[in-house]
Amino acid sequence: MDRRSLLLLTAAGLAAGCARSSTSTGPGASVDVQLAEPVQRTSPMVTAEHYFAEQLAELTDGRYRVTVMPGGVLGDDNRVTEMVRTGQVAFCKTLMANLTAYDKRLGVASLPYAFASREQCLQSLDGDLGKRCAAILAEHGLVVLTYFYGGDRSIYNRIRPIRTPADLTGLRIRVPQNIVSIDMINTLGADAVPMATNDIMSALQQKLVDGAENSIVFYVTEQHLPYAPYYSWTRHQHAVDALMVSQKWLSEQPSAVRDAVVEAGRLAGEEELRLWAAATDQKTDLATRQGGHLDEVDVEAFRAVLAPVIRSHRGTFGDLTALLPDGG
């Protein structure tokens, strides 16, 4: 069973378990909701979210209208996820590594070099790892509709090319607000600076940080290249985001609408994979044409330095560690 089918069954089961019928809208009434997103509107993930909105509108005969709110206008990952959990906002897309406040195990995919390739990452999400993460989030009122693949993450900065871990010494690098990313960058010899996604640009502009780490797509679409022209292919993590719906909000909708939400999520997941693959090639080419310095690194040297981080965090993720390729 592939990832889309697995999530379809999981989300459908959770939706079916929401026994209440909607009392907030009458027959034929339109429903307007929001989808919170921290990245800019030029991201392929945002395009996939608009596709989700289109599909849900079509499946509900135009009754349900989703407005995508990119650029962190509703708040950072932590704030909007909590708003979704409590039903204040219907949908959000959140980096899995930023969901560890609900359960530390959800950060398991952020272990450095946990996946050897895009294919290996997707296979894990297709299988038990994706299913277990979805089940954990459901316990906290968050229903996973699909996983968005966010590419392999690499380090970029404004000072110099990075080819070995030693080149990072003394640099201030922004990281997501989770302990694995902080430990990873500190272990490499840089100073980790945790901050929300929508604060990175201003931090780069004001030189509060020397760089950050993320996918080539994020790097170009967020327009970080002019402020940090050295992009080094460390490929230390594969980013996984979850497109989620509030279990509280979903439980208040008619059963046919719950089914439509699940189906729209499945379709959006398929579209996002296609969009991301195309964007990776396009943005890599664009980065070169815009004057970016894209450098290969000594990956084995990075793996060796980060091995203690992997060992020290294995226990943090409990039973989910065993679900990584080769048992983590």
Looking at residues 261-276, what average pLDDT do you find?
Answer: 98
| Interval 101-136: pLDDT, tens | 999 999 999 999 999 999 999 999 989 999 999 999
Give yes or no for residue 21 having a pLDDT over 90.
no
CATH class for the domain made up of 3-313: alpha beta
Tell me what pLDDT residue 26 has: 57
Between the CA of residue 211 and those of 151, 214, 232, what are the distances in Å?
Answer: 18, 10, 11
CB 179 within 8 A of CB 106: no
All structural domains of the chain with their residue ranges: 3-313
CA 252 – CA 250 distance, rounded (Å)? 5
Among 260, 218, 256, 261, CA closest to 243: 261
* Residues ≥6 apart with Cβ < 8 Å to 187: 305, 306, 308, 309
Tell me what pLDDT residue 151 has: 96
Read off the pTM: 0.88
| Interval 240-268: pLDDT, tens | 999 999 999 999 999 999 999 999 999 99
